[in-house]
Amino acid sequence: MRIAEVHVYRVDLPLNGTIYRMSEGSYTAFDSTVVRIVSDTGVSGWGETCPVGPTYQPEHALGARAALQHMAPGLVGRPAAGPRQVRRLLDAQRNGHNSAKAAVDIALHDLIGKAHGLPVCDLLGGAVTDRVPSYCALSPGDPDDVARLAAEKLAEGYPRLQLKAGGRPADLDIETIHKVWEATGCTRLAVDANRALTTRDVLRIDRDCADIPFVLEQPCNTMEEVASLRGRVTHPIYLDENTEDLNDVLRAISLGICDGFGLKVTRLGGVGPLATARDVCEARSLPQHLRRHLGRRHHRGRGRARRRHGAAAPARGRVVGGAVHGPPLRPAEPGARRRRARARAGRPRARRGARRRRSRRSGRLLRVTDTRRVRSS
């Protein structure tokens, strides 16, 4: 089985009617990239990479698509049997660009799983549970409002909460943590500053919230700043943004500067590298939250998956055998979301799960899978 085609799509990923705020920015939609790989036997696999806006990651969406357009022609004709082989091939073409390589890695795992009739979890060693707890990320806001929303989300069924912090006076973050704790008593709580706190403010938050159990997630910008907190704070520290590749995970573990990780599949380069990081963490008894960078992920409430069609009809570029066929990659047309909403109003509600859509421009059948709107990273 060999790779016959590589397709790259730009996908507009709107949030579910809200603004997603982190310390470094506010967003109502994200620019995501979907990759489809088709084998010479007709089996196809899908992958996706989404950098969560221009300031969350060093990578950005246009860069991922540019890298894919350069790398994809070299994949055509290569065996589709081993993602690791393909990863070496991609590394030989481009240094870095983990987010772009992740989309290929994910698509290949999907393709190989389908070809062999196996779920991807079996390719990665097998599932150890049939339930995966999700969490709800709460943007910074008025402390009373955040506390009320936190109670609502717990009542909806979320077992975990993540409070975004940083980018504002530390007093507000401290007040928010106290009010959420008083309103919910949630013991599975993370305070995620997305790199934005100074060590001084981390020490204040740690001291002023000493009796409240939570994890401090990526409190400061650099691994060195986080390392300087070791032994000075009482709350456990997880690294997130500082783990840009496997070497960063190994460095943090060897230096002993954190108590766990929030690992992103696209930041590390795909499910293959993520599984390696998972195994290394397991060997050192370090917990990891394995997360996608938005894209289509579960958003559970009241015990049932809420699936919504959050992706726009993708503008398409098709890379086959070194040539680009079809229209170039471009953003969705102005007003496209409104037209789609009107069209949806006249159609029956989409069934849960995979959904097939026919491209209005080309008439070619596109499959847009599992398109739920999301609001956390």
Site for Mg ion in 252-281 (CB under 5 A): 262
Q: Toward Mg ion, which CB reaches closer, 43 or 165?
A: 165
Q: Which is nearer to Mg ion, 105 or 241 (CB)?
A: 241
| Minimum distance, C-beta of residue 150 to Mg ion, in the bound complex (Å) | 17
The residue (of 110 and 192) whose beta carbon lies closer to Mg ion is 192
Secondary structure letter of residue 79 according to DSSP: B
Rounded Cα gap, residues 138 and 192, in angstroms: 10
**164 noted as active-site residue:** yes
192 binds Mg ion (CB under 5 A): yes
Nearer to Mg ion, 332 or 374 (CB): 374
Residue among 5 and 240 whose Cβ is closer to Mg ion: 240
| Structural element, H or E, at residue 371 | none
Q: Which of these segments, 7-15, 126-134, 233-241, 275-283, binds Mg ion (CB under 5 A)? A: 233-241
Which residues 199-218 are close enough to bind Mg ion by CB under 5 A? 217
Catalytic entry in 101, 153, 179, 264: 264
Least distance CB 205 / Mg ion (angstroms):
16
Pick the piece of the chain touching Mg ion (CB under 5 A) from 120-128, 184-192, 250-258, 343-351.
184-192
Nearest position to Mg ion, beta carbon? 240
Find the shortest distance in angstroms from Cβ 187 to Mg ion: 19
Which of the stretches 188-196, 228-236, 242-250, 318-326 binds Mg ion when contact is defined by CB under 5 A? Answer: 188-196
> Which 109-168 residues touch Mg ion, going by CB under 5 A?
none
Number of residues in contact with Mg ion under rule CB under 5 A: 4
For tokens 């990320």, the residue is: 137
In the list 59, 240, 244, 248, the residue contacting Mg ion (rule: CB under 5 A) is: 240
Residue ranges in 282-311 that form contacts with Mg ion under rule CB under 5 A: none
Strands 44-49 and 215-217: unpaired
**What DSSP designation does 332 have?**
P
The least distance separating Mg ion from the CB of residue 77, rounded to whole angstroms, comes to 39
**Residue 370 binds Mg ion (CB under 5 A):** no
Residue 194 beta carbon to Mg ion: minimum distance, rounded to whole angstroms? 6
Q: How far is the CB of 189 from Mg ion (least distance, A)?
A: 13
Which region among 5-13, 186-194, 293-301, 362-370 touches Mg ion (by CB under 5 A)?
Answer: 186-194
244 in contact with Mg ion (CB under 5 A): no
Residue 154's Cβ-side half-sphere holds a number of Cα atoms within 13 Å equal to 18
Q: Is 264 a catalytic residue?
A: yes
- Closer residue to Mg ion (CB): 262 or 317: 262
End-to-end distance of the chain based on CA atoms, in angstroms? Answer: 35
- Is 364 exposed, middle or buried (CB count within 10 Å of its CB: 0-12, 13-18, 19+)? exposed
Specify whether the CB–CB gap between 116 and 77 falls below 8 A: no
Question: How many angstroms separate the CA atoms of 71 and 87, rounded?
Answer: 11
Q: How far is CA 328 from CA 122, 324, 341, in A?
A: 36, 8, 25
CA 191 to chain centre: 18
Q: Residues, the chain, total? A: 377
Spot the catalytic one: 101, 153, 164, 179: 164
Q: Is the dihedral of CA 368, 369, 371, 376 positive or negative?
A: negative
CA distance 177 to 169: 13
- From CA 163, how far away is CA 161, in angstroms rounded? 7
What is the pairing mode between strands 29-39 and 3-14? Answer: antiparallel
Which of residues 35 and 229 has its CB atom nearest to Mg ion in the complex? 229
Q: b/e string for 213-228 if b means 16 or more Cβ within 10 A?
A: ebbbbbbbbebebbee
Interface contacts to Mg ion, rule CB under 5 A? 192, 217, 240, 262
Active site residues: 164, 264
